[in-house]
Structure 1
Amino acid sequence: MSSSELVFPGQSVPAKHVNLKLGPGLQQQASYSDPSESTVVATKAGLLQHSANRSKWWVDSNSRRYVPAPQESVVGAVTQRQGEGYRVDIGGAHQASLDALAFEGATKRNKPNLKVGSLVYARVSLAHKDMEPELECFDAQTRKSEGYGELKGGFIIRCSLKMCRNLLDPKHFLLPLLGSKFPLESAIGMNGRVWISAKEPRQIIAIARCIEATDPDGGGMDAEGVKALLDTLEV
């Protein structure tokens, strides 16, 4: 990670790499003076971040409005069957499309039969401001599901986008702490939705309460606070 620098919309960003990948809040623009040259500019205010090898760059800002970006994992709900695929609500300005063949091992004769209201954990394969986003439920390189696909049972929690990024960080305390108390499953979308499943309803309620309490938009509770909260919930 970089030492975070605050950037504002329209500000140029020094993002350069052979395999440059831009995440949320950044956009590549051609130079007016030399069309072969391009610059990277911020499209929203926040903290500029990059990966250790500086190949991935993004702007970290706390928001509840999701703007789809390629390669991001999302939790969505099927709203409509459409020809050979589905329309899926992922919380963005536009609904996303999901082809029925975009699942591991799917063929024209053997493909999933999702119903309206079904939940899916998917990856954004195409995202552009002027087009509907497209989803797929497998890893593009291995063609294996890698955890993507229909989510059965469980419960959806909505939280800030910042909280989702926190939960995806292996160093964040919350999910390991909850996992030490009881078995659970989770699918974390970058779109402000977290799917959780546990054996007992009271455990699901406890997970939801802890995520809400830890969310920077909520109480921003630390590990000690969560332990005390779990004691009061008796799980």
Structure 2
Amino acid sequence: MSASIVLPGDPIPLESLIDFSSSEAEPTIQLGPGTLHIPPSTVVPIRAGALMTSSSKSATTTTIYIDTPTGRYTPAIHDVVIGTVTSRFGDLEKAYYRISLPSCTSPQGILSASAFANAASRKTRPNLAPGTVIYARISATSLALGEPELECFDEKTGKEAGFGELKGGMVADISVGLARRLLLLSSSSSFQDTQKMSVVDILGQSLAFEIAVGRNGRIWINSDNCATTVAVIRAIQETEDLPYLEMQEHVAKILKQMRK
């Protein structure tokens, strides 16, 4: 993963960002938030921020996006988010939930009661009460829709794959920039390239916990005891801007305080 500061309209030099000779197959370029394609082959940023690239584990796909560490999250298809059920509407056959999406330019999303794995019949669909925390994927968004549509299953397999109700645990806020970085580190080859672990990797060496990261700047942490959950949340929130070595030291300090 690499970064440089760009301004709207600056041409993005793809040749310097992507190694077209690293594999036999021609690499695929995927444009993320904050970028615009001008045919035939020009890509420019549409907002100021850090120009980021991240390669897939197979190194055949490179994602290019503009990272802004502060501000609100703009919904994009395929992104994962953490939200809270606020209400239910519709009839028995076509029921829907309204989902609160904090730190998002669209503060509410819509989730169909049938948009879950194994929800083909009414009997197998979940009955979510207001206040339920859910982990979902954005399946559709547009100005016409107004509110993004959500679903709680893996689009490739149709299985649950961790989506749905997040039971127990605690939810906390982080910056949208940190959320994106944590998600990229969990799905890219960045760790192998840099030999530097994320704060989540370091915590995982000493603690047992579950984590879900929402692109809208929310994390859900669950563990066997409250002290571990709070320590994990503190470590993630307090080390965002620290250099790698200082981050390691601060995590060690938090763990020491937790064990007293």
TM-score (normalised: structure 1)? 0.84
CA distance in 1, matches of 2:31, 2:100: 23
Match of 2:82 in 1: 75
| CA apart distance, 1:55 | 4.6
Q: Paired residue for 1:87, among 93, 98, 108?
A: 98
Q: Is the 8 A contact 1:64 1:159 kept in 2?
A: no
CA deviation profile, 1:182-211 (whole Å, cap 9, x unmatched): 321110111110000111111111112111
Distance 1:40 1:76 in 2: 32
Write the distance in 2 (CA, Å) between the matches of 1:165 and 1:179.
19
Identity across the alignment (%):
37
Once the two structures are TM-superposed, the CA of residue 28 in structure 1 deviates from its matched residue by 4.4
Q: Which residue of 2 aligns with 1:222?
A: 247
Aligned twin of 2:142:
128
- 8 Å contact from structure 2 (residues 52, 65) kept in 1: yes
Whether the aligned pair in 1 keeps the contact of 2:29 and 2:63 (CA below 8 Å) is: yes
Superposition RMSD on alpha carbons, in Å?
A: 2.6
Shift of 1:20: 5.0
Question: C-alpha distance in 2, partners of 1:149/1:79?
Answer: 15
Determine if contact 2:30/2:61 at 8 Å carries over to the other structure. no
CA contact 2:50–2:68 (8 Å) conserved in 1 = yes
For the residues of structure 2 that align with 1:198 and 1:126, how far apart are their CA atoms? Answer: 33
The separation in 2 between residues aligned to 1:177 and 1:63, in whole angstroms, is: 24
Aligned-residue offset at 1:63? 1.5
Question: Which of 29, 32, 50 is the aligned partner of 1:23?
Answer: 32
Q: Counterparts of 1:211 and 1:158 in 2: how far apart (Å)?
A: 10
Alpha carbons 2:110, 2:147 under 8 Å: kept: yes
- Structure 1 residues 131-168: Cα deviation after superposition (integer angstroms, max 9, x where no partner): 32111111111111111111011100101122223333
TM-score of the aligned structures, taking structure 2 as reference length: 0.76
Equivalent residue runs for 1:188-227 within 5 Å: 188-216=213-241, 221-227=246-252
Q: Which piece of structure 1 moves more, 15-24 or 72-81?
A: 15-24
CA contact (8 A) 1:173 1:223 kept: no
Distance in 2, matches of 1:185 and 1:87, equals: 26
User: Gaps spanning 5+ residues in structure 2: where?
Assistant: 16-25, 192-196
CA 14–136 in structure 1, closer or farther in 2 if over 3 Å, else same: farther
TM-fit CA distance, 1:12: 4.5
- Give the length in aligned residue pairs: 226
| Structure 2 residue aligned with 1:154 | 169
Decide whether the 8 Å contact of 2:88 with 2:97 is kept in 1: yes
Q: How does 1:29-178 map to 2 (within 5 A)?
A: 40-52=43-55, 53=60, 55-83=62-90, 84-91=95-102, 92-94=104-106, 95-109=108-122, 110-129=124-143, 131-168=146-183, 169-170=185-186, 171=191, 172-178=197-203
Judge conservation of contact 2:152–2:160 (CA < 8 Å) in 1: yes
CA distance, structure 1, for counterparts of residue 33 and residue 61 of structure 2: 15
Q: Deviations over 1:11-64 (max 9, x none)?
A: 4446699965332212446x7xxxxx6854423211222343455321122124
**Deviation larger for 160-169 or 37-46:** 37-46
**Which residue of the partner structure matches residue 34 of structure 1?**
none
